[in-house]
Amino acid sequence: MLSNDVALKILHVVGARPNYMKIAPIYQQMKKHQGLFQQLLVHTGQHYDPNMSEIFFRELNLPEPNINLNVGSGSHAQQTAQIIERFEPVLLDFCPDWVIVPGDVNSTLACALVAAKLGVKVAHVEAGLRSFDRTMPEEINRVLTDHLSDVLFVSEPSGNDNLIREGIDKNKIFFVGNTMIDTLVQLLPLAKMRWEKLNEIYHLDRFILVTLHRPSNVDNIGRLREIVEALSEISIHCPVIFPVHPRTQKVIMENQLDCNNLTLVEPLGYLDFLCLESKASLVVTDSGGIQEETTFLGVPCLTVRPNTERPLTLTHGTNRLVSADKEELLQSMYEVLEDGKTIAPPSLFLWDGRASERIVKILAEMGK
């Protein structure tokens, strides 16, 4: 086994719920080659609620983070600034060869910026995705992180095209597949074993599963009211299970939105959510990752957004974009439920559960 002075020093950044599923398989792959990699896991604390954080570390077989920056909530400026301030001394102390940042949250950009300014190489997992909507904070994070990164790991073909069009050196771009799908492939059998227990709680033959968290839907009370009213009406015909994000719950309570017909539950762990997702008749969401998961599972998905940074889910998957308008959303939900067809999961290039293996191999070959 190689000594740590030869091993590549890797600093993984996680900050929000989707990051855990993207980093976990990479961390596990590197752990198989401990002589080649010395790993440090840093949690920025961007998601700090136990249901949004701690349970995921347990279920995804991630260790407790070596360091938690405990940033917490705040405006985008406050959160990004605090991460930058608290991350810099960690980076200076550990002196990694590579910083790996996944996704498009504030932690992604903040830590990439610190690393780039200190001359530490940055690898961006899930690079190149574009909604072409600069009103989305995530779009700003994606674009800037990609242009700061030394290596860009792409999950779908549109990512390659976007990066090349923006002038990024094609030698820095690697189409490796989707690490979120790696996690799904690994844990789906275990997740499905939880159905008997969950069905004892919900007693459902068919149901709609809902997630909503984006400010464009949640902070716009008119839009959120339209969505909730549509879900309440459809629930008369098909039960609705709605794991409520903390920010969504806060807005619902403050504005006294009527959710009496909906089954509101606390945010779920990864395994319980994946089990319900795989059994759902329909998923209604504004999440990027869920668009990908439902595509892989062959579950119909309606995304309440005017655009998506994951066009593969539209052209080759089960996803459709829908309006937040009550009548339009209702019509779309009725169409899916009345169709009732079982969708064969598509075979998508490199969505094979081995993206993390390809990432680890590339980084090992690149070295320090």
Closest CA to 12 of 82, 86, 76, 65: 65
- CA dihedral sign of residues 79, 80, 85, 90: positive
Identify the weakest region by mean pLDDT among 53-62, 209-218, 304-313.
53-62
- What's the chain's average pLDDT? 93
Cβ partners under 8 Å of residue 47, min gap 6: 15, 16, 17, 53
Residue 338 CB coordination number (10 Å): 8
String of DSSP letters for 108-149: HHHHHHHHHHTT-EEEEEEET-----TTSHHHHHHHHHHHH-
Query: What pLDDT sits at residue 353?
Result: 97
pLDDT single digits (tens) 48-84: 565 556 788 889 999 999 999 999 888 899 999 999 9
Token pair in block for residue 73: 């909530």
Cβ partners under 8 Å of residue 117, min gap 6: none
Query: What pLDDT sits at residue 56?
Result: 85
Query: What pLDDT sits at residue 339?
Result: 87
Domains of the chain in start order, with CATH, are: 8-178+351-366 (3.40.50.2000), 186-339 (3.40.50.2000)
Catalytic residues, by residue number, are: 213
pLDDT single digits (tens) 311-348: 999 999 999 999 999 999 999 999 999 987 667 777 89
pTM of whole model > 0.85? yes
pLDDT single digits (tens) 5-25: 589 999 999 998 889 999 999
